[in-house]
Amino acid sequence: MALDPIDSPVLKCAIFGRTASQSAVSTVRLLQLYGSHLVDVPVTDAKAFQFTHLECGTCILIAMSGKQYLGTQMVTATVAGTRVELKP
């Protein structure tokens, strides 16, 4: 039995990233470009961050230090897990 697109399971995507070693990024915010998903994650001491269980598609990553904006980067979340180096 073939599934119609509406009956198909929703694929979950991920983004795995690192920030530049000299950057002061403490938080990365993900904003789904064609949706309403918004989430903040902390940057680890190893300058790494990750977003999992996302809908696939285009997102904007916003680098922040506290409430200060440092820069943005467009990225596409994929099933295989998109790898990105964020350079604010």
Sheet holding 68-77, edge to edge: 38-42, 27-32, 57-65, 68-77
CATH, range 12-86: 2.60.40.1120
Q: pTM of the entire structure?
A: 0.84
Quote the CA–CA distance of 28 and 5 in Å, as a whole number.
33
Of the two residues 87 and 10, the one the predictor is more confident about is 87
CA distance 86 to 71: 9
* Domain residue ranges in the chain: 12-86
Model pLDDT for residues 28-71, shown as the tens digit of each residue:
999 999 888 899 999 999 999 999 999 999 999 999 998 899 99
Rounded to an integer, what distance in angstroms lies between the CA atom of residue 43 and that of residue 49?
5
5 phi/psi in degrees, rounded to 5: -55, -35
**Residue 4 pLDDT more than 60?**
no
- Whole-number Å distance between alpha carbons of 76 and 57: 5
